[in-house]
Structure 1
Amino acid sequence: MAKIVNYISESFEELKSNVTWPEWAEVQKLTIVVAIFSVLFALATWGVDEFFTKALAGFFNWIKA
Structure 2
Amino acid sequence: MAKFSIVNYLKEVNNEWMHKVSWPTWSELQNSAIVVSVASLIIAIVVYLMDFTFSTILQRFYGLF
TM superposition score normalised by structure 1: 0.74
Q: How far apart are 1:30 and its partner, in Å?
A: 1.2
Q: Which of the two has greater helix per residue?
A: 1
Q: Is residue 34 from structure 1 mapped to residue 36 from structure 2 by the alignment?
A: yes
Structure 1: which 4+ aligned runs deviate by more than 6 Å? 2-5
Alignment partner, residue 53 of structure 2: 51
Alignment partner, residue 13 of structure 1: 15
Distance 1:17 1:49 in 2: 49
Deviations 1:26-51 (A, max 9, x none): 11011111101101110110110110
2:33 partner amino acid: T
Q: How far apart are 1:5 and its partner, in Å?
A: 6.8
TM superposition score normalised by structure 2: 0.74
TM-aligned CA distance change 1:60 to 1:5, over 3 Å = farther
Q: RMSD value over aligned CA atoms?
A: 2.1
Question: What SS is found at the alignment partner of 1:19?
Answer: coil
Q: Is residue 22 from structure 1 mapped to residue 4 from structure 2 by the alignment?
A: no
- Which 5+ residue runs of structure 2 have no aligned equivalent? none
Q: How far apart are 1:24 and its partner, in Å?
A: 0.9
1:17 partner amino acid: H
